[in-house]
């Protein structure tokens, strides 16, 4: 068992390092000066929570990895001045207040000299992602995967919260980033696909009722939609992760970009794996270079 785990970790590290080298080779060196300093902000989907090796410079509760997409971007661009303040469970409020005593408010890392900012944010506002996944797993387990119990219980609650509360919070956060770093390129990424787009399910690894799969997809589409709207209205570059469709948590290892709730490879489930981080880095780099 221990040998198998070590083998998986070694394979993951090799893949991540290889991806970093490939990304670095794809970006011209002359792009570096105009994009440094670089500040990475955001939540667990930016921190790469659950992927090894951990970033030992930050409190363990942030579950940050040194192989998250911000690190891959910094490596690819050869950026020398790089600050990563990403942390699991971060909300937009944590841009202004300390999420934990040992951390600074994330926005404090941004200065007028900052030239590049990347982030994912909004999924934890109103505890949306936590409530959606945990509530739907509980409901789905209770019906042995039949029906749409989560939709029946919660209806439009999640999408209403996203549209009425998360959207203005994300827009304010982006506006304030631009105000602090007026010459920076600010890039916000969509959340990659968690459940299958064809509304199929994989109950043994993602115990969500079949009828709730489209319900969850609609919630995620709504979230990504308000992030895009906020980005468009603030002059922020939006990275559409439509390429993640077909690489959801129900797919096998090597195809999926997001790990399932059960029998996954990450120690934090329902989050991007190392391959997912590589793909998010690729999409962001394409947008940064565009």
pLDDT tens for the 290 residues of the chain, in order: 333 333 333 444 344 434 444 544 444 444 444 899 999 999 999 999 999 999 999 999 999 999 999 999 999 999 999 999 999 999 999 999 999 999 999 999 999 999 999 999 999 999 888 789 889 999 999 999 999 999 999 999 999 999 999 999 999 999 999 999 999 999 999 999 999 999 888 999 999 999 999 999 999 999 999 999 999 999 999 999 999 999 999 999 999 999 999 999 999 999 999 999 999 999 999 999 85
CA distance 49 to 267: 8
* Residues near 174 by beta carbon (within 8 Å), at least 6 away in sequence: 186, 188, 230, 231, 234, 236
How many domains is the chain partitioned into structurally? 1
- Could you tell me the CATH number of the domain that includes residue 107? 3.40.50.1110
Our measurement of the distance from residue 261's CA atom to the centroid of its chain's CA atoms, rounded to an integer in Å, reads 16
Predicted local confidence at residue 48, as pLDDT:
98
What is the DSSP code (8-state) at residue 96? T
- Strand pairing report for 38-40 and 82-84: parallel
At 231, list the tokens: 């980005």
3-state secondary structure of 29: helix
Q: At 119, which helix (H) or strand (E)?
A: strand 116-119
Instruction: List the domain range (segments joined by +) for residue 87.
Output: 2-289
**In 10 A of CB 40, how many CB atoms?**
25
Which residues belong to the active site?
A: 44, 271
Q: At 84, which helix (H) or strand (E)?
A: strand 82-84
CA distance 189 to 238: 6
What is the DSSP code (8-state) at residue 114? -
């Amino acid at each position: 068992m221990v040998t198998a785990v070590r083998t998986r970790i070694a394979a993951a590290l090799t893949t991540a390092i290889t991806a970093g080298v490939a990304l670095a080779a794809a970006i011209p060196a002359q792009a570096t000066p105009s994009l440094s300093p670089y500040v990475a902000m955001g939540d667990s989907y930016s921190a790469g929570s659950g992927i090894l090796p951990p970033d030992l410079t930050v409190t363990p509760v942030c579950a940050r990895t040194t192989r998250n997409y911000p690190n891959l971007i910094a490596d690819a661009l050869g950026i020398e001045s790089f600050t990563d303040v990403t942390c699991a469970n971060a909300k937009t409020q944590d841009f202004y207040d300390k999420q934990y005593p040992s951390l600074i408010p994330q926005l404090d890392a941004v200065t007028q000299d900052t030239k590049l900012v990347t982030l994912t944010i909004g999924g934890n506002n109103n505890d949306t992602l936590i409530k959606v996944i945990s509530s739907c797993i509980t409901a789905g387990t209770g019906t042995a995967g039949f029906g749409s119990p989560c939709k029946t219980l919660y209806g439009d609650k999640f999408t209403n919260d996203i549209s009425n509360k998360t959207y203005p919070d994300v827009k304010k956060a982006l506006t304030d980033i631009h105000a602090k770093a007026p010459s920076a390129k600010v890039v916000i990424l969509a959340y990659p696909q968690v459940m299958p787009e064809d509304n199929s399910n994989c109950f043994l690894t993602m115990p969500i009722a079949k009828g709730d799969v489209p319900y969850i997809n609609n919630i995620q589409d709504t979230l990504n939609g308000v992030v895009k709207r906020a980005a468009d209205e603030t002059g922020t570059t939006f990275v559409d992760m439509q390429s993640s469709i077909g690489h959801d948590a129900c797919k096998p290892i090597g195809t999926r970009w997001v790990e399932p709730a059960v029998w996954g490879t990450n120690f934090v489930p329902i989050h991007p794996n190392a391959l997912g981080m590589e793909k998010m880095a690729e999409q962001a780099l394409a947008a940064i270079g565009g």
